[in-house]
Amino acid sequence: MRFLKEERLERVRCYQKIERQIRQMENEDEQEVLRLRYIKGLKWEEVALKMNYSRKQVHRIHSSALKSFKMT
């Protein structure tokens, strides 16, 4: 039971760290793509629909976001 609590706490810390890093990114579209895909767990089609972009454009933004994302 203690192990599960520690594991959950570690996941929360990791989530918070990722969210902080996303917030520090300059490009809002990049932030949104990363949040929708990795924090909210949406599929690529859902991300594109929510952002009013084509799936191809979302993938371009995602690629750029990964280059900009810095995990320390």
Q: Give the pLDDT score at 68.
A: 85
For 12-42, what is each residue's pLDDT tens digit?
998 898 899 999 999 999 999 999 999 999 9
Cα dist from 41 to 2, 3, 32, 68, whole Å: 27, 25, 12, 20
Residue 71 has pLDDT above 70, yes or no: no
Find the helix packing angle between 44-51 and 55-68, rounded to 10°: 100
Each domain of the chain, given as residue ranges in start order, spans 2-68
Q: What integer best gives the mean pLDDT of the chain?
A: 92
The residue type at 32: E
CATH no., domain 2-68 = 1.10.10
